[in-house]
Structure 1
Amino acid sequence: MKIAVTGATGTQGGAVARLLSSRGHDVRRVTRNPKHANDVHGDFNDPASLRHAFQGVDGVFLMTPLSDPREVAQGKAAVDAARHVPHVVFTSATNADRGTGIPHFDTKAEIERHLAAHHPHWTVLGPAAFMGREGPVALPIPPDLELFLIAPEDIAAMAVLAFEQPDRFRNRRIDIASDRRTGQEMAAVRGTEFVQIPLAQAEKYSADLAAMFRHHTEIGLDLDLAALHAEFPEVGWHSYESWVSGRAARRPE
């Protein structure tokens, strides 16, 4: 298959592009600044460039620029540019479709709704928070609060599975996580300390991220980890320990 991958120069899109290539697929890396043979110009602020980048492909891995205030408009334009593409896999956020009030979750949800309304064959993946390997674990959450975490490689595995088994993923929204750990547990695995940042301090840095951690603390995310891993064992889900150590081993449920 020929798959166009947005965000291919970043952590998530890069993992998807590498796995697709390793499985023999023809990858078209969509980037604003093409540098390699399989790169093609595509700018979220230029819908015509996206239409060109998506021309003739069998699928699009779509992720939108989180830090851009125009994310909703950009995401909708990208969805429209991919209307002729047989399958679009959009990466969102865990529980983004549930009206969390978290700004960057709500923008993803709006793009999800546009995708479902305007594309005949789509899949939405809702990744949890990315795993981290280095430095102290400093978060505005209680030390014993469990967070859902995901390895970028597991996002890639789910996305590639969706492209390779489209009927299994047709018009489905799936929240995904690799593991669940407290801040103290993550710090122990990394051989460092956990630092609880005051929420008020996080608010000064980013009201958006503060809203996310407030939601995690007061409400929490809803994700059945055991059921997810049982349904998609092919992913080989990483435990936090195996990912930090660089070993691809699944944590027992």
Structure 2
Amino acid sequence: MDKPLILVTGATGNQGGAVVDAMLEHPDQWQVRALTRDPSSAAARALTARGVDVVAGDMADEDSMRRALRGASGVFGVQNSRTAGLKGEVRQGTTLVDAARDAGVEHFVYASVGGAERVRGIPHFDTKWEIEQHLRASGLPATVLRPTTFMDVFTMRGASVGLGMMAAALGPHKPLQMIAVRDIGVFARLAFEHPDTYAGQNLELAGDQLTVPRIAATLKAAGRPGRYARLPKVLLRAMGKEARMLFWFGESGYDADIPALREQHPGLLTLMHWLTRTDRLEAA
């Protein structure tokens, strides 16, 4: 019997790449097809070398998606408003959903964002909520993954400024939930492995929750810079709509059930474990 074919969008990016990695941990179970705009890129060629079927495609183009979906039993969908724009993100997401429905896909796993169903006025949350609603209306068996803050943001260039903004919005005592991108991939794989359990579920994903001072202390303990200066809230307000997310973190914020998630995925990473993983350090 042929192995099920899973189409992974965004396969050369963070979340899609994590899904590919998770699926390839069990190569006997799956065929993995990676969608990319440029199959000649170094990242795409690296996927091909790992045995992934890399195909060119544009999520906003219906014909392109029909070709990419041929033979696929499952789809992992993720879009990026930073590259596509807000309207472009919605167009990509809804076009992919419609093409998957028409192709008879058996399970659609969509990467949204934590809190998308609870808060309005954050532009990149609103777009994902719109795609979620379109997916729900399509009738496709689906699992929605709603990641919280990526742990990666604490090691990126300019992380000290980001911590300062979070300190302004959260204060010293309110924790922020976060997730290792690797674990998003694991939950996507679990959804494909156990469709009867995960179809219809909306999972907010986090592996740790720490106050800003604890985040800084954890970074320092792992040999990373943990410096930050708490910024005045007036500077956040000057950011306009982009600051809405930060203020929401302080008002209510993410609400993942971390103990329940760890029961499903015992290897769920804390920030310290993510920072000190041997395989991550070797790949850096």
TM-score by length of structure 1 reads 0.89
Equivalent residue for 1:217, pick from 250, 259, 265: 250
1:17 aligns with 2:48: no
CA contact (8 A) 1:100 1:215 kept: no
Q: Spell out, residue by residue over 1:101-133, the C-alpha distance to the aligned partner (whole angstroms, 9 max, x if none).
A: 322111111111110110331100101000035
User: Aligned partner of 1:96: which letter?
Assistant: A
CA contact (8 A) 1:184 1:193 kept: no
Query: Which deviates further from its counterpart, 52-61 or 29-38?
Result: 29-38
1:229-240 matches, cutoff 5 A:
229-230=262-263, 232=264, 234-240=265-271
Q: Distance in 1 between matches of 2:57 and 2:233?
A: 38
Equivalent residue for 1:47, pick from 58, 62, 68: 62
Greater C-alpha radius of gyration = 2
Query: 2:228 matched to which residue of 1?
Result: 194
Identity over aligned residues, as a percent? 38
Equivalent residue for 1:87, pick from 92, 95, 107: 107
Q: Spell out, residue by residue over 1:140-187, the C-alpha distance to the aligned partner (whole angstroms, 9 max, x if none).
A: 332332101000111111000000111010111111111101111111
User: Aligned partner of 1:240: which letter?
Assistant: L
Query: 1:60 matched to which residue of 2?
Result: 75
Query: Which deviates further from its counterpart, 24-33 or 43-52?
Result: 43-52
Q: Spell out, residue by residue over 1:55-92, the C-alpha distance to the aligned partner (whole angstroms, 9 max, x if none).
A: 11111100012221221122111110111211100010
Equivalent residue for 1:244, pick from 255, 275, 283: 275
TM-score by length of structure 2 reads 0.80
Which structure has more strand as a fraction of its residues? 1
Equivalent residue for 2:137, pick from 117, 141, 150: 117
Q: Distance in 2 between matches of 1:139 and 1:154?
A: 26
The 1:60/1:240 distance shift into structure 2, 3 A limit, reads same
Q: Distance in 1 between matches of 2:118 and 2:251?
A: 15
- Unmatched tracts of structure 2, length 5 or more: 221-225, 280-284
The 1:235/1:6 distance shift into structure 2, 3 A limit, reads farther
Query: 1:156 matched to which residue of 2?
Result: 185
Query: 2:223 matched to which residue of 1?
Result: none
Q: Distance in 2 between matches of 1:203 and 1:49?
A: 42
Q: Distance in 2 between matches of 1:103 and 1:199?
A: 20
1:75 aligns with 2:93: yes
The 1:208/1:53 distance shift into structure 2, 3 A limit, reads farther
The 1:64/1:27 distance shift into structure 2, 3 A limit, reads same
The 1:199/1:11 distance shift into structure 2, 3 A limit, reads farther
1:32 aligns with 2:37: yes
User: Aligned partner of 2:207: which letter?
Assistant: S
Query: 1:251 matched to which residue of 2?
Result: none
Give 3-state SS (helix, strand or coil) of 2:143's partner.
strand
Q: Distance in 1 between matches of 2:233 and 2:105?
A: 43
